Chain A
Amino acid sequence: MNFYAIRAIYIFEMMRTWRTLLQSIVAPVMSTSLYFIVFGAAIGSRIASIEGISYGAFIVPGLTMLSLLTQSISNGSFGIFFPKFSGTIYEILSAPISYREIVIGYVGAAASKSIMLAVIILATARLFVAYEIAHPLWMVIFLFLTAVSFSLFGFIIGIWADNFEKLQLTPSLIVTPLTFLGGSFYSIGMLPPFWRNVTMANPIVYLVSGFRWSFFGASDINVGVSLGFTLGFLLLCLTTVWWIFKTGYRLRA
């Protein structure tokens, strides 16, 4: 294992976060805080509680998950796309490192950044709404698994994308709508039966539900199913990354 290479990639990527602190940390925390102020503190106070949980507290896991997903994808995709765009990918490809080490370096840094952001968001939310975490260990597990699997998903997008438009396409046209419609702001139990069934096809529902369970001990979907789905998605991403490096898809001619 080339630990020096993993460390080099990880530090290099993390340094970008510190260089772009406003964009990487401050901006997403600010926009999520606005959600908490508007939907949690302002409108939330006029909305009845959901399953015994105040609306302000109810949206905390969903909003945290929204930021976690989008930032994981953004960090994971940009980390590998930028060397491709600038041409510096030659150095990664000619270095004595395996694809596992490349993935650990880039995805590790992307996941670290999004977990850091999620923790800041959770701390910031506490300023606006009161909430407790019923299962802290499971909260950390869901946070970690989601960050890693969606950073991997972002990494795949970063390799697939050959221009900036494609880089933004999946997050903005697929992931964000699915997250908004995945129970971030509501319980899927509030939907009519038809739309509830349609929503069950949305993979984000399982992530939000599992994460919410770790906060309140209650969820729309069995937590085992949520965990299984998260692990399944992780496995799918890992398999895709393995295939990419095995075939050299969009990396090695």
Chain B
Amino acid sequence: MQPIISISGLGKRYASGFKALTNIDLDIYPGEIFALLGPNGAGKTTMINIVCGIVNPTEGTVVADGHDIRKDYRAARSKIGLVPQELATDAFETVWATVSFSRGLFGKPADPDHIAKTLKALSLWDKKDSKILTLSGGMKRRVMIAKALSHEPKILFLDEPTAGVDVELRRGMWEMVRSLQATGVTVILTTHYIDEAEEMADRIGVINKGELVLVEDKTALMNKFGKKQLTLNLRTRLTSIPAKLADFRLELSADGSELVYAFDPHDDKVGALMKGLNELHIDFTDIRTSQSSLEEIFVSLVRARP
């Protein structure tokens, strides 16, 4: 499959000398939801801004839907919609006027039906004649999404789309992103909320200090880097871990009532552990398992790099 966005050797050094991006190579495929994770200042927004034409790259190329973003910027940009991180709106304009303005700006003739459909989909229809300054923060965020969708883009960048919005609205945003994906729109989002990426993304990229640390399918990433933990509640407390079980690197809780076994999901030692416990007549009353979250994986990846 041809990527809808292809980034090669992308680098950005600002006039101050600060190197925001180093040699980024990334392909994003049509119809996927791609989450870009990284700590503050990692280069997420710089990368998005370069693809959208707001920041000039120092080196490298970006091709969007077959069009080079610099040599063929008109065609490339007309395919892209952007919802930036900051709530930047024309406070004194009405919702209808500002969304219509965005459509015109992207070279599309007026289409009241499409604007109406977009506003209805984002639950903004009853606010179409309201001035933006009278709207709540969540509604303003949706207005910005409506502006980004006004020209029917094939690629949508959402830079921290749910920053500062309440839980209910976050859920609503997730549903909206999924419905966009269902219509064939490729969504690239950056987020600080790892659970958001875990919930929505098909693939995940981790960026740190301007370098793309990894790009993986979400499920593969969690299988590859995720750890499982097995906790046994013992019927009789232990004072120490039996020598026969030393190979399993078990941990005993301070009061001796729990044995904890951390293991790779792919290894098959759980059965051996159970057998060993049985042979030693160590009985247990309860058993629990848990898997490390994407957040834990992310933190371990970012910390692993100097």
Q: Report how far A4 CA is from B150 CA in the complex, Å.
A: 14
CB pair A86–B90 under 8 Å, yes or no, is yes
Q: How far does the Cβ of A3 sit from chain B's closest Cβ, in whole Å?
A: 8
Other-chain residue from B14, B76, B104 in contact with A7 (beta carbon distance below 8 A): B104
Query: In the complex, what residues of B have CB within 8 A of residue A8's CB?
Result: 100-101, 103-105
Closest to B109 in A: A4
Other-chain residue from A12, A90, A94 in contact with B101 (beta carbon distance below 8 A): A12
Q: How far does the Cβ of B239 sit from chain A's closest Cβ, in whole Å?
A: 63
Query: In the complex, what residues of B have CB within 8 A of residue A252's CB?
Result: 54-56
Closest to B67 in A: A96
Other-chain residue from B88, B93, B109 in contact with A90 (beta carbon distance below 8 A): B88
Q: Kindly name the residue among B14, B88, B103 whose own CB sees the greatest number of chain A CB atoms within 10 A.
A: B88
Query: In the complex, what residues of B have CB within 8 A of residue A87's CB?
Result: 84, 86, 88
CB pair B54–A15 under 8 Å, yes or no, is no
Other-chain residue from A2, A90, A92, A96 in contact with B84 (beta carbon distance below 8 A): A90
Given contacts A15-B97, A253-B14, whether A95 and B105 have CB atoms under 8 Å apart is: yes
Other-chain residue from A2, A88, A95, A96 in contact with B90 (beta carbon distance below 8 A): A88
Query: In the complex, what residues of A have CB within 8 A of residue B108's CB?
Result: 4
Q: Report how far A54 CA is from B88 CA in the complex, Å.
A: 53
Chain A interface residue count, CB cutoff 8 Å, equals 26
Q: Report how far A69 CA is from B88 CA in the complex, Å.
A: 31
Q: How far does the Cβ of A84 sit from chain B's closest Cβ, in whole Å?
A: 10
Other-chain residue from A4, A90, A248 in contact with B56 (beta carbon distance below 8 A): A248
Q: Report how far A253 CA is from B12 CA in the complex, Å.
A: 10
Q: Report how far A12 CA is from B55 CA in the complex, Å.
A: 25
Does A93 sit at the interface, judged by CB under 8 A? yes
Q: Kindly name the residue among A2, A9, A93, A96 whose own CB sees the greatest number of chain B CB atoms within 10 A.
A: A96
Q: Report how far A141 CA is from B53 CA in the complex, Å.
A: 37
Q: Report how far A96 CA is from B105 CA in the complex, Å.
A: 8
Does A231 sit at the interface, judged by CB under 8 A? no
Does B75 sit at the interface, judged by CB under 8 A? yes
Other-chain residue from A5, A15, A86, A248 in contact with B104 (beta carbon distance below 8 A): A5
The 0/1 profile, CB within 8 Å of B marked 1, for residues 98-133 of chain A is 100000000000000000000000000000000000
Other-chain residue from A90, A97, A253 in contact with B82 (beta carbon distance below 8 A): A90
Query: In the complex, what residues of A have CB within 8 A of residue B22's CB?
Result: none
Q: Report how far A91 CA is from B91 CA in the complex, Å.
A: 15
Does A46 sit at the interface, judged by CB under 8 A? no
Does B77 sit at the interface, judged by CB under 8 A? yes
Query: In the complex, what residues of B have CB within 8 A of residue A97's CB?
Result: 74, 105, 107
CB pair A88–B104 under 8 Å, yes or no, is no
CB pair A94–B91 under 8 Å, yes or no, is no
CB pair A90–B89 under 8 Å, yes or no, is no
Query: In the complex, what residues of B have CB within 8 A of residue A94's CB?
Result: 52-54, 77, 80, 82
Query: In the complex, what residues of B have CB within 8 A of residue A15's CB?
Result: 97
Q: How far does the Cβ of A49 sit from chain B's closest Cβ, in whole Å?
A: 48
Given contacts A4-B109, A5-B106, A97-B105, whether A253 and B90 have CB atoms under 8 Å apart is: no
Given contacts A87-B86, A88-B90, whether A96 and B56 have CB atoms under 8 Å apart is: no
Other-chain residue from A4, A16, A88 in contact with B88 (beta carbon distance below 8 A): A88
Query: In the complex, what residues of A have CB within 8 A of residue B73's CB?
Result: 96
Does B78 sit at the interface, judged by CB under 8 A? yes
Does B154 sit at the interface, judged by CB under 8 A? no
Q: Report how far A90 CA is from B85 CA in the complex, Å.
A: 11
Given contacts A87-B86, A91-B147, whether A253 and B105 have CB atoms under 8 Å apart is: no
CB pair B88–A2 under 8 Å, yes or no, is no
CB pair B107–A86 under 8 Å, yes or no, is no
CB pair B105–A9 under 8 Å, yes or no, is yes
Q: How far does the Cβ of B76 sit from chain A's closest Cβ, in whole Å?
A: 8
CB pair B77–A95 under 8 Å, yes or no, is yes
Q: Report how far A90 CA is from B147 CA in the complex, Å.
A: 12
CB pair B56–A91 under 8 Å, yes or no, is no
Q: Kindly name the residue among A9, A12, A91, A253 whose own CB sees the greatest number of chain B CB atoms within 10 A.
A: A91
18 A–B pairs (Cβ distance < 8 Å), ordered by A: A4-B106, A4-B109, A8-B103, A12-B97, A86-B91, A87-B84, A87-B88, A88-B88, A90-B54, A93-B53, A94-B80, A94-B82, A95-B107, A96-B74, A96-B77, A248-B56, A252-B56, A253-B15
19 further contact pairs, Cβ within 8 A, besides A94-B52, A94-B82: A4-B104, A4-B105, A4-B107, A8-B101, A8-B103, A86-B90, A88-B88, A90-B54, A93-B53, A94-B53, A95-B77, A95-B105, A96-B73, A96-B78, A96-B107, A97-B74, A97-B105, A97-B107, A252-B56
B contacts, CB < 8 Å to A: 14-15, 49, 52-56, 73-78, 80, 82, 84, 86, 88-93, 97, 100-109, 147
10 closest A-B pairs by beta carbon, nearest first, are A8-B104, A87-B88, A96-B77, A96-B74, A94-B52, A95-B105, A96-B78, A2-B107, A93-B54, A4-B104
